[in-house]
Amino acid sequence: MFDLKIDDKVAWVTGGSRGIGKSICLALAEAGCDVAVSYRSKKEEADEVVSAIEAKGRKAIAVQVDVSSVEQCEAAYAKVKENLGTADVLVNSAGVIADNLFFMIPEEDWKKVLDVNIMGTVHACRLVIRDMMSKRWGRIINLSSVAATRGGRGQANYAASKGAIEAMTRSMAAEIGRRGITVNCIAPGVIETDMSQEVIKLAKDDILGLQIIKRFGSPEEIAAWSVMLASDYGGFMTGQVLHVDGGMKMA
């Protein structure tokens, strides 16, 4: 009854070589998208994702980019357009953490987290919006975090960056919705990825104690909601933050 196919659309996924971003790339390909897989440093991981997408019968490329650099983002999107076409779907999944107690966070860690998480999202969005406006169709999906709304020790810089992304999402949605472009956030809780393993190892019981659902999420669960938002069924939802966090925000 519900066909979530997104046939012949082009998706650009930043941070697409591992973790949540990788699962989103594969899910969008399964739904019918050609996918540009952005990565920062590990080309072999991105190439594996590209091969998996091609095995599904879709086109894919790996694009190296440090999203904190506007010049690198411009070069990356030029490569996307040259090889696949203009982006119909943008997923901003690239992100970094640099946890520490607030009074111990060095200036460089504030700058690194804000530059990648906020400005990386800004750079990619600015590049695709004109093309989406021309087509009068587009889907922008930003990755936030439960940290944006539920304070946690040691994550002031990360929480600030994700809160900014949520606020920016609402403003962007208001500006460009009339052009057929939706802008939404997904705010995951603790998802089992390489990046989260150390946190889970150190504080598993404490984290689960904050959740209604007593397990950690999977990257595939986040990817499924990304496909929903990118599909035609996501066309009447914009400016929203979708919390996929095991109930942590409520608990």
Residue 39 is a catalytic residue: no
Q: Indicate which residue of 39, 77, 158, 233 is catalytic.
A: 158
93-98 — which CB contacts under 8 Å span 24+ positions?
A: 93/13, 93/14, 93/15, 93/16, 93/20, 93/21, 93/24, 93/143, 94/14, 94/15, 94/21, 94/38, 94/40, 94/67, 94/120, 95/15, 95/120, 95/143, 95/161, 97/155, 97/158, 97/195, 98/157, 98/158
Distance CA 143, CA 154 (A): 20
Q: Catalytic positions, please?
A: 158
